Each structure stands twice: as structure tokens, then as C-alpha cells.
Chain A
Amino acid sequence: NAGVMQNPRHLVRRRGQEARLRCSPMKGHSHVYWYRQLPEEGLKFMVYLQKENIIDESGMPKERFSAEFPKEGPSILRIQQVVRGDSAAYFCASSPETHHEQYFGPGTRLTVT
């Protein structure tokens, strides 16, 4: 059973470009969470999704950030018009149920130049 998969592992974007981060949950998991980790800090919750639904996006910046988890395919975290402050590691996690432990992917390290 493959773990949570994220791609790309490293992404470099110039200011103003768009960044698309992909997450494929573990097989059988229908709950996906996105977190952001700034250097030397803990993870900060961004958004929680189930298939085709955003359940909780209270940690998402109001502008430029969006997330989706379509019926088919991976979950996508999209950042439009990136700025240097968006440089961080973005982790996706999945769980089979809401109150179970979350299993993390390897993360995508976004660098904005």
C-alpha cells in the first residue's frame, strides 16, 4: 500500500507565477489535509477536504490560494501570483476517517525567486 504521494518534491517559481502542488492520498483514504511549514517552525493547518468538498479552509489565506479534491485524481493546492513569503514546505496528509491519525506525504518545497 503506497503512502501519501506528493509532487513535485521541489518547485521553483518566479514572483508572479502560479504554483500547483499535487497530493495523492493513501489508498482507501478519503480525507485530505494541507499544511504549510516555514523554516524552523511547526506545521500550520491550511485546509481540509473530502472528495469534491472543502470541509474547513480556515487556515487558507483569503487571496491567491485555493484547493480542490476532485472525484477523480489528486488533490491540488494552487497558489496564484506567488510572492517570496510563499516559500515554504507544503505537506499533504490523509486519513481514512476524521478522527484517525493523519499520514503525511514527503512534502513539496516551494522556492519563490
Chain B
Amino acid sequence: AQKITQTQPGMFVQEKEAVTLDCTYDTSDQSYGLFWYKQPSSGEMIFLIYQGSYDEQNATEGRYSLNFQKARKSANLVISASQLGDSAMYFCAMRDHTGGFKTIFGAGTRLFVKA
């Protein structure tokens, strides 16, 4: 069965430092997509980054990069040069062939950026 696990309920990082948010997933499919979303206190869901299972390069989008380790089934989000505005909930998500069209979300990690 498809599953997303985020083991860090909360994380603290100093402003301007890098932080890694962990995500592991479980699927028996070979074809799947991995996503990260940010949810600030205002509540909206903001798409950050996407990694396809067949992509050989790790995805990057500005200060966000996805550390994709297929054999370990992990898709960690790395945020470089943290900013105060990065304080939010972060959700890892997956969509695979077996799951059809639904996106499965992890429980989330709350990131606190300290000045």
C-alpha cells in the first residue's frame, strides 16, 4: 500500500542556514511522482517541487532541492539559506500508478526559522 512517512513533527533552523526535512515513501510501482508542499499559517497549500521516479537528476527550484534516493525510498527536501518566511508546515506527497489519481500526503513537518 502507498504510504508517506515524515518522522519530524517539528524542526528548528537558524536563519540563513540550510535545513533538511525528511520523507520516506512506500510503493510497489516503478512509476510515481513525489511532491513537496508548503502550508503557511494562512492555510493555503503552495506547490514547491516535483520529482519523477525516472528522473535521474535531483529536482531543484530556487532555494529548494529534493534529495532523491530511490533505493532507500527517500525524498528529503533541502531548503538552503533559510528565511523567516520559510516558517510553515511542509508536506511530502506521492502519486503512483496503483493509487491512480489520488495524492497521498504525509503528516507534515512544522519548520520554525529563528532570527
Contact = CB atoms under 8 A, between A and B. Distances in A.
* A and B found bound together: yes
Interface of A: 31, 33, 35, 41-45, 48, 55-56, 58-59, 89, 91, 93, 98-99, 101-107, 109
B64 interface: no
Contacts of B35: 101
A105 B106 CA distance: 19
Contacts of B46: 104
Given A55-B101, A56-B101, A101 B45 contact: no
Interface in B88-109: 91, 93, 95, 100-108
Nearest to A99: B33
B47 A103 contact: yes
Given A41-B107, A42-B91, A42-B108, A104 B44 contact: yes
Contact of A33 (B47, B103, B104): B103
20 contacts: A31-B101, A33-B101, A41-B107, A42-B105, A42-B108, A43-B103, A43-B105, A44-B105, A45-B102, A45-B103, A56-B100, A56-B101, A93-B45, A99-B33, A103-B47, A104-B37, A104-B44, A104-B45, A104-B46, A104-B47
A43 B33 CA distance: 17
Interface string B1-28: 0001000000000000000000000000
A44 B108 CA distance: 12
A35 B105 CA distance: 10
B62 interface: no
Nearest to B102: A45
